[in-house]
């Protein structure tokens, strides 16, 4: 793949998936605590989202950051707009803004769920599309 | 290797009238958390606020500064 193709792939992923998470590892097996916490927030909301592991090719990260102007991973996009990384997503999850943004129900005890650093594994609640397949 | 004090000074220089607290999360000089209070953030979205802080360090974030966790806020007493 050329860099241009990678960039187009990323642009398409953001355009086609209303809730699109770029992370290190996968929601089932996050490879970084920040990515794990961000995925855990989405999992707790039970919202449908697509996730892309940026680790297989470092150009994914380079092109993504070039596109978004955001230097770190994870990056969450909702309706084509960058929402933020782990800090912002966690804050918005705890305040209920994230639930509102993605059109989900705010779970009870939201702070407890967000404080977990690991994504729930194998609970079957989270339909996941991985567009790299 | 960057230090918490260096990060604090650079943020305070780049964002005038800011109150900055930087913590080295691991003691290893590469994972930091910065709390920045400034009226410069007024009217900006969270993304824009955090970008202002990231922009202080440019390509160093993701490089020597492996992770920079950010919390921004506006002084509760209003602009001074």
Cβ–Cβ of B70/A87 closer than 8 Å? Answer: yes
Which of B46, B47, B67 has the CB atom closest to A72's CB atom? B67
Mean pLDDT of chain A: 86
Indicate the DSSP class of residue A30.
B
Q: State the residue for tokens 């961000």.
A: A38
ipTM confidence:
0.77
Residue B79 lies in a domain: no
- From chain B, the residues in CB contact with A69 under 8 A are 51
Q: What is the DSSP string of B16-61?
A: TT-EEEEEESSSSSSEEEEEEE-GGGTT--HHHHHHHHHHHHGGGB
Number of compact structural domains in chain B? 1
A84 in reach of chain B (CB within 8 A): yes
Cβ–Cβ of A72/B62 closer than 8 Å? Answer: yes
Number of compact structural domains in chain A? 1
pLDDT tens by residue, A76-131: 999 999 999 999 999 999 999 999 999 999 887 665 555 554 444 433 333 344 33
What is the domain extent for residue A8? 3-112
Q: Check which CATH number belongs to the domain holding A66 and give it.
A: 3.40.30.10
Which of A61, A71, A88 has the CB atom closest to B47's CB atom? A88
Indicate the DSSP class of residue B3.
-
């Amino acid at each position: 793949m050329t860099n241009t193709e990678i960039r187009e792939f990323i642009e398409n992923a953001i355009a086609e998936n209303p809730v699109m998470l770029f992370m290190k590892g996968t929601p089932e097996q996050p490879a970084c605590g920040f990515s794990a916490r961000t995925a855990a927030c989405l999992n707790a909301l039970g919202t449908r989202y697509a996730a892309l592991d940026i680790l297989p090719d470092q150009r994914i990260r380079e092109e993504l950051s070039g596109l978004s102007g955001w230097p770190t991973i994870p990056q969450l996009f909702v309706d084509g707009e960058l929402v933020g990384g782990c800090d912002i997503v966690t804050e918005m999850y705890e305040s209920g803004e994230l639930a509102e943004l993605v059109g989900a129900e705010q779970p009870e005890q939201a702070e407890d769920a967000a404080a977990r650093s690991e994504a729930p594994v194998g609970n079957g609640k989270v339909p996941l599309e991985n567009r790299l397949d | 290797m960057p230090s918490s004090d260096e990060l604090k000074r650079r943020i305070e220089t780049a964002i005038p009238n800011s109150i900055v607290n930087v913590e080295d999360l691991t003691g290893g000089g590469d994972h930091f958390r910065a709390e920045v209070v400034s009226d410069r953030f007024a009217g900006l979205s969270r993304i824009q606020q955090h970008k202002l802080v990231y922009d202080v360090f440019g390509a160093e974030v993701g490089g020597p500064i492996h992770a920079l966790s950010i919390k921004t806020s506006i002084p509760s007493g209003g602009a001074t």
